[in-house]
Amino acid sequence: MDATRIIEEALDQFGQDFTARFEAATTEQALRDEKATVLGKKGKLTEILKQMGRVPPEDRKRIGERVNALKEQVETRFSERLAALRNLRRQAELSAPPFDLSMPARIPTPRGHLHPLTQTQSDLLAIFRDLGFLAVEGPEVELEEYNFTKLAFPPDHPATDMQDTFWVSVAGAPSGARTLLRTHSSAVQIREMTRRRPPMALVSTGAVYRRDDDITHSPMFFQMEGFLVDHRVTFGHLKAVLSTFAERFYGPGTRTRFRPSYFPFVEPGAEVDVSCVFCGGEGCRICKYTGWIEILGCGMIHPAVFEHCNLDPEALTGFAFGLGVDRIAMLRYGISDIRLFYENNPRFLAQF
């Protein structure tokens, strides 16, 4: 048989083959794969055309035209089959059970909210903002100088013991300076009094750290500090601010009681109790039958603290107070174990 016949027969065969292959493909991907087998660089047609060299020159034009026509047919059949397959898929989708995209998920997405301690902090801040205090922040990793020394803690004060305080080393801290996780928010007093000039009325909330761990004491907890510095500030102003706060936070009629107490950075110092919010002062389990609940420490800023901040203790006076946010929140929500605040159990948190 001559080369022209051989190639013509191969092309006939090719024409039948690819049509059958395209019909057999049932997915878009399978169809594309078949097209590659037929027309690709290593495909059937390329194989056949390798014989072209043996075809006499007078037949080549005819064979060439035939090849081009076949290529066009392949493209046409491919497009037709592709459209048919897509149509089939669409029909299948349309006849399948309806899929409702707008239907709500069976498990509703849980809505989060602020942590009860964050809620309590912002409620506390809001009251003091109304009273004219400006909210500021301080760092949780603090200098010993700000947390203890400038607040007039003597060097051997028990609070500075390893048992009470988390001492940490910090890269880049001033040389010779000791650093710690602040044990109270009073460090903010020093930060602000060294960089602002009076008058100032500031509040600050945030995390503080102590080596404590029981049902009413957590190693990390929250405090709020408030302080006011100006000329002729008196203990009377302190009492007015704190009793107004107590009535706003716990409700009208809440009474306050100031008991003398000691903190190195105030003189005089006091602890403040509020009439028990649970029994109204009658006496109950929560107030240990005293009718009173302790909520904070406070006092008039010690002259030594002013000196440490380069403020004139002859000209200025001021008061400061610090309260435990966790304690306030525990009383507010009737929670008996402080650790619940930090376990992040959604069943607990969802109740607020």
- Footprint of ligand FA5 (CB under 6 A): 184, 186, 210, 212, 217-218, 221, 223, 263, 266, 269, 297-299, 320-322, 324, 326-327, 338
User: Of the two residues 66 and 115, which places its CB atom closer to ligand FA5 in the complex?
Assistant: 115
User: Of the two residues 22 and 209, which places its CB atom closer to ligand FA5 in the complex?
Assistant: 209
The nearest distance, CB 183 to ligand FA5, in angstroms, is 7
User: Of the two residues 14 and 265, which places its CB atom closer to ligand FA5 in the complex?
Assistant: 265
User: Of the two residues 64 and 219, which places its CB atom closer to ligand FA5 in the complex?
Assistant: 219
Nearest to 324 by CA among 278, 293, 350: 293
The nearest distance, CB 119 to ligand FA5, in angstroms, is 17
* Alpha carbons within 13 A on the beta-carbon side of 167: 10
User: Of the two residues 25 and 180, which places its CB atom closer to ligand FA5 in the complex?
Assistant: 180
Cβ atoms of residues 352 and 119 within 8 Å: yes
Among all residues, whose Cβ is closest to ligand FA5? 324
What count of other Cβ atoms lies within 10 Å of the Cβ of residue 100?
A: 7
The nearest distance, CB 252 to ligand FA5, in angstroms, is 24
Whole-angstrom CA distances from 315 to 80, 90, 113, 300, 310 are: 96, 86, 47, 14, 12
The nearest distance, CB 148 to ligand FA5, in angstroms, is 11
User: Of the two residues 14 and 321, which places its CB atom closer to ligand FA5 in the complex?
Assistant: 321
Q: How would you classify residue 251: left for phi > 0, otherwise alpha for psi between -120 and 50, otherwise beta?
A: left
Whole-angstrom CA distances from 297 to 69, 147, 240, 266, 271 are: 97, 16, 15, 10, 4
Instruction: Report CA 270 to chain centroid distance, whole Å.
Output: 37
User: Degrees (nearest 5) of the Cα angle 286, 257, 275?
Assistant: 35
Backbone angles phi, psi at 135, to 5 degrees: -85, 130
The nearest distance, CB 351 to ligand FA5, in angstroms, is 20
d(CA 127, CA 115): 19
| DSSP β-ladder status, 200-209 and 134-135 | parallel
d(CA 231, CA 54): 113
Can you tell me which residue has the tokens 């607990």?
348
The nearest distance, CB 106 to ligand FA5, in angstroms, is 41
User: Of the two residues 274 and 338, which places its CB atom closer to ligand FA5 in the complex?
Assistant: 338
Enclosing H/E stretch for 219:
none
What 3-state class would DSSP assign to 106?
coil
User: Of the two residues 81 and 327, which places its CB atom closer to ligand FA5 in the complex?
Assistant: 327
User: Of the two residues 217 and 248, which places its CB atom closer to ligand FA5 in the complex?
Assistant: 217
The nearest distance, CB 277 to ligand FA5, in angstroms, is 15
